[in-house]
Structures are given as structure tokens and as C-alpha cells.
Amino acid sequence: MATVLENALSVISYPSLAANSRQAAIISANLEGEQMSEQDLIRVRTPLGGGTQWSIDANGNVETVDEIVGVLVAVAKRGTLWPQEDPSDSRPVIVSNDLRIGYRVGDDLGTIDSAVLERYRVGDRQYDWVALALSNEFGFGSSRSGSGKRCKESRILAILRYGETWPILVTVGPGSLRNVLPFLKRLPCFCYEAEVGLKLCKAKGKAGQPYSQIVPRFSKQISEVEAENARRTYFEPLKAMFGAPPIGVVIDADVANDE
């Protein structure tokens, strides 16, 4: 006789993750054999000034929610070195997709000393991100506030909401990593098996500036059928997308200063 847990894990709750789902067929048809890119997906920005509601802009249709809930179909690492301490709309100088190797994506160095940056170059437009992030010039204590660092590290969460075909991307900035990283490590299942919720609370940086901090929660584990479809349809393509050299990736400047 099946246990309660086994019965719960056999229930299909996400239509896009059902066997032979229409959504999976749509994704395959629309991509036409091309790799998924970050530009293909809707990016949800963390609100400024300590806001506690998410605004999801889908082709001009803005939805405001207190919590983003969905399957965590992928998690990616991201490291960024900006030319200025306040990046606004400037292009990053270096981007890393694994927090090991950084790729030069911009030539405007801003306030960065080119001779200092050259010390960390390990190849053609490639840099030792680990050494950069630990250095006196770009590591902890190198920001204007004296506590943060110029090398910003973040995570990108790909969330598939109920009834949606494509996942949305949420960037977890430095000020939210203290909540999110332990949460991810303690998940009781693979990330693409986990339905999670992301809320926001108002926090203050060490300089007293307010920012929005992400507060995650684990909701439930989806069924085995859904999990396998999530792995095949979303996790594997997204893993390949996030692991590609970061040429032309979309970078959020709004999370750069939430230390």
C-alpha cells in the first residue's frame, strides 16, 4: 500500500511539468534548436528602497505580488566587477558565471587601475575571479563604505510559476545571500524538485541605506514525474545557458549596492 508521501509525490500540480506537456512542446518549437538565453526570459528586479512587493513585467503587463511562488528549476552563480562603485546603467568590466574564472565583457575601466587589474589576468580576456574577490583592491573592505567589496557576487534563481511556460529570473544580491545560501544548502531535495516562495522584507545596509532583502521558504516537493520533466525541460537547458561564456548576458545593476 502506498504511503501518504508516495501519494503526494505522484500528484501532478504543475501543468507544464506533466508528461508530454504542451508547454514543453512550445519551448522546443519556439527555440528551434537554439540554446535558451537570459534575454529570452523575464527578469524580475528586486525593488529599490526597501520595497516589499515584487513587480513582474511580462511584455508590458505588470503584476504585483507579495510572494513569488514556483518550482526552483535552476540556480546560477554570478560575479560582477563594475567600472564604478555606483554602476547605474554602465556595462560591467568582468563577469563570472562560476566564481572561478571572470571574463572581460567591457573596456571602460572607470575608476579601476588597469595595471592592478592586469595582475589577475590568466588568459585572453580571462581573469582569476577567486584572487580578484579576495584582493585588497576588489575584495572585502574595497568598497566606498569600507565594508563591502567591488567584486559583487550573487545568485540567479529560475522560478517556474504555476501555469507558466517559461521561468522567470530573480537575482539574489549580496544583502540577500545571507538568507538564500543557507536555504539552498538545506533543501531536502534537488532544486528542480522544490516548490519555493520568495518574499521581501525591508533591511538596512551598514551605511544605513534601506534595501529589499529576499526571504525564501520551502513549500513542498513536487512529484517524481514533474521533477523528471523539470530536469529535462528546464534544469539541463538552463544549466547550459548559465554555464556559457558571459557574452551579452543581462546584468542587474540594482542589486550592486545592497551590502
Q: Cβ of 113: how many Cβ atoms within 10 Å? A: 10
Three-state SS at 215: strand
pLDDT, residue 13, reads: 77
pLDDT, residue 1, reads: 39
pLDDT, residue 230, reads: 95
pLDDT, residue 60, reads: 78
Q: What is the pTM of this model?
A: 0.87
Q: What is the pLDDT along the chain (259 residues), one digit of tens a residue?
A: 344 444 444 455 788 898 888 888 888 888 887 888 888 899 999 988 889 999 998 877 899 999 999 999 999 999 999 998 776 667 899 999 999 999 999 999 999 999 999 999 999 999 999 999 999 888 766 666 555 788 999 999 999 999 898 999 999 998 899 999 999 999 999 999 999 999 999 998 777 789 999 999 999 999 999 999 999 999 999 999 998 877 655 566 555 556 5
* Cα first-last separation, the chain: 52
Contacts of 80 by beta carbon, 8 Å cutoff, 6+ apart: 92, 94, 95, 96, 151, 152, 153, 154, 251, 256
Can you read off the three cell numbers belonging to residue 250? 543581462
pLDDT, residue 145, reads: 58
pLDDT, residue 200, reads: 97
Contact in structure between 109 and 103 (CB atoms under 8 Å): no
pLDDT, residue 10, reads: 45
